[in-house]
Amino acid sequence: MTYALFLGCKIPYYVPHYETATRRVLGDLGVKLVDLEFPCCGYPMRHLYFRSYLLSAARGLALAEARGLDITTPCKCCFGALKRAQKFLADKPELMAEVNAELAADGLNYQGKVVVKHILQVLHDDVGLAELGRRVVRPYELLRAAILYGCHAVRPSEVTHFDDPSNLHLIDDLVKVTGATPVPWAGRLSCCGAPVRERNEDLALATIRKRLSEARDAKADILVIACAYSQMQAEWAYSLAGPPPQREFIEGPVLYPQLLGLAMGLSAQEVALERNTPNGEYLLSFLKRD
């Protein structure tokens, strides 16, 4: 299991804990991650500069292809943008030809061979639930988890192929294997508000606040996230929300590799829980005691 790690632009500065936990957990599970100097997936450019988006995404895909590697990314928006670009290019051969002519200046070529997977797909399908079950040495008890599936992974399903669109279960399976209990809640398939933040900050904030309240209403203990943008949104909302007693939200957002890593016996530092906003170390109290 070797993948080129497409970290995306947001993780290094805004969500470094995601990188720490992802590398550690995937590494421990035998997934080899290769670092290439990837460009932006193009997602942020797509609103105004479609061709730039497509070219940037295609460059990333071509870089992995040149090395004969498939791509895995922790970010749902990078995932969606890359998958979308693959579909755009596959659907329209003349677009593919134009993009390849532009890539040729750097000696690159995209042929559509590279497979793009989200890290959760790698965990679910490549590592497998059985192996994960074996590696969970310290399961959670009585931990109710609200899962945010992530728009750009789930939809459009004909493009992303993230999971079975009529019966999404992939993240539920991954949460169950840690001993936590996924709870039904209103915001499971809803948007975190990140994509509109630059265009309408109020709407972006209202959207993530709604998610956090919905999760609290469902009596969840944590919000499970596996996307750089959703985590940024949730942390932004918490940073504006003031100290814990006044909060109308649930305890906090946790990135899936952090959740899994702790259950695999890793320490809070090894999955960088202290970097979460709010500090994610409360999660430790849910781990089964010997």
Question: Which part of the chain contacts another protein (CB under 8 A), choosing from 24-32, 55-63, 178-186, 268-276?
Answer: 55-63
Q: How far is the CB of 141 from another protein (least distance, A)?
A: 34
Q: Which residue type is seen at 104?
A: A
Residue 112 engages another protein in binding (rule: CB under 8 A): no
The length of the chain in residues reads 290
Determine if 203 is a binding residue for another protein (CB under 8 A). Answer: yes
Supply the minimum distance, in Å, between the C-beta of residue 11 and another protein.
9
Number of Cβ within a 10 Å radius of residue 92:
12
* Secondary structure letter of residue 68 according to DSSP: T
Rounded to whole angstroms, the Cα distance separating 10 from 38 reads 13
For residue 49, state whether it binds another protein (rule: CB under 8 A).
yes
Tokens representing 182 are 């996924």
Smallest separation, CB 121 to another protein (Å): 18
Is 102 one of the binding residues for another protein (CB under 8 A)? yes
Q: Max Cα separation, the chain?
A: 62
- Compute the least distance from the CB of residue 153 to another protein, in Å: 10
Q: How many residues bind another protein (CB under 8 A)?
A: 48
Report d(CA 178, CA 134) in Å as an integer.
Answer: 10
Quick one: which segment of 119-127, 134-142, 198-206, 253-261 binds another protein (CB under 8 A)? 198-206
The answer to whether the beta carbons of residues 54 and 42 sit under 8 Å apart is yes
Nearer to another protein, 125 or 202 (CB): 202
Quote the CA–CA distance of 256 and 241 in Å, as a whole number.
23
Does the protein bind another protein through residue 59 (CB under 8 A)? yes
Q: Are 57 and 42 in contact (CB under 8 A)?
A: yes
157 lies in the binding site for another protein (CB under 8 A): yes
Site mask for another protein (CB under 8 A), range 5-44, x = bound = ---xxx-xxx----------------------xxxx-x-x
Per CB under 8 A, the list member of 73, 86, 207, 230 interacting with another protein is 207
List CB contacts of 198: < 8 A, sequence separation 6 or more.
none
**Rounded to an integer, what distance in angstroms lies between the CA atom of residue 41 and that of residue 8?**
7
Q: How far apart are CA 119 and CA 192, in angstroms?
A: 19
Name the site residues for another protein (rule: CB under 8 A).
8-10, 12-14, 37-40, 42, 44-52, 55-56, 59, 88, 91-92, 95, 102, 105-106, 151-152, 154-157, 165, 190-191, 193, 195-196, 198-200, 203, 206-207
